[in-house]
Amino acid sequence: MISKSNKPLRTAAYCRVSTDQELQENSYETQQAYFRSRIASDPAKSLAGIYGDKGKTGRSLHGRTGLQALLHDCEAGLIDLVLVKSLSRFSRNLPDCLTMVRKLKELGIPVIFEKEGINTMEGSGELLLSIMAAIAQEESRSIGENLRWAIMQSNAKGEPFFHPSYGFRRKKDSRAWEIFPMEAQRVRRAFSLAATGRWTYQEILAELNRIEQSQKTGDVWRKKRLAYLLTNVVYMGDCLTNRTYHVYTDKMIVRPNRGERDQYYIEDHHPAIIRRAMFERVQQVMKSGLLHSSYKRRNAAQLALLADERWQLEQREEEDA
């Protein structure tokens, strides 16, 4: 392909990998190196940029900052041609794929999918693209269903397959979890304040955000995140699988699990950050509404809970055991 002005075509490439296996196999770096070499070896092309997304699904545009940057630069007139290794790297969602390709076509920018041999500016390009994109979308749905089945089997064996929660990291070369000290400090602080019953959500959030600001992490705590943390059994060493589940339509939707999927409760799956007595105390405090109320509005039941110090004795017994 030669530019009408005889100037090299400003050529961009898009790369994507979605799985840990692909990341471990350096697939992302391999794709980048391939396109750099391919463009550099063609005098009719000049490199406009290599855009990409690591660990992102092709089912949705959400979170794919590399693809969004590519589209933005195309609209800004910085790119003449886009190269992609295969259609599945670009998108596994038929409506999204066609929308992006048509938008670039209106800008006079062809997208070439090398594996499928599709040039979107050619007459048959969109028909072929529609067929191949539909196949890619169906393959993605099938992969999703197979993956869900494999995860359920793993959960049933007591080996939950999901990323470690905040406060934990996965051990090197292992699926086992270990405590991440800096984040565990925040977890312990949040639970210890909530357990007293004398700190509201807003006050706990202010304390956590004060810690983040003092350490210049850039992290921000909000109520929804704090409430999720305070009810998550992982912090006492257990796991509850499938708290949410995914629905695959034209895009992936995350829904809370209210019985639609089997759940498994696994005790002592990993090291605990807090004691069980403290976790159970916090659940009582949350249920009572103490984290919402100020001192002046506390009712008799809340005052009785504040006066009950049995949980502290239980925690000491756990520590001594």
- Segment 285-290 shows an average pLDDT of 91
What gap in Å lies between CA 118 and CA 136, rounded to an integer? 14
Say whether 245 sits in a helix, a strand or coil: strand
CB contact at 8 A, 237 and 269? yes
Bridge partners of 111? 82
CB contact at 8 A, 275 and 319? yes
C-alpha closest to that of 155 among 61, 7, 258, 262: 262
pTM over 0.75: no
What gap in Å lies between CA 26 and CA 17, rounded to an integer? 9
Max CA-CA distance within the chain?
84
C-alpha closest to that of 116 among 87, 94, 96: 87
Say whether 204 sits in a helix, a strand or coil: helix
What gap in Å lies between CA 290 and CA 299, rounded to an integer? 9
C-alpha closest to that of 282 among 241, 239, 243, 229: 229
Q: What is the pLDDT of residue 18?
A: 73
**What values do phi and psi take at 117, rounded to 5?**
70, 35
What gap in Å lies between CA 131 and CA 109, rounded to an integer? 21
- Segment 280-304 shows an average pLDDT of 83
Q: In this structure, are strands 265-266 and 177-179 parallel, antiparallel, or unpaired?
A: unpaired
- Segment 69-86 shows an average pLDDT of 94
Predicted confidence (pLDDT) per residue in 168-214, tens digit: 998 887 778 999 999 999 999 999 999 998 899 999 999 999 999 99
Predicted confidence (pLDDT) per residue in 105-160, tens digit: 899 999 998 888 888 887 665 666 666 556 555 555 555 555 565 556 666 666 66
Residue pointed to by tokens 């190269």 = 83
What gap in Å lies between CA 48 and CA 83, rounded to an integer? 11
Question: Does residue 1 or residue 279 have the better pLDDT?
Answer: 279
Angle at CA 142, nearest 5°, toward 51 and 126? 55
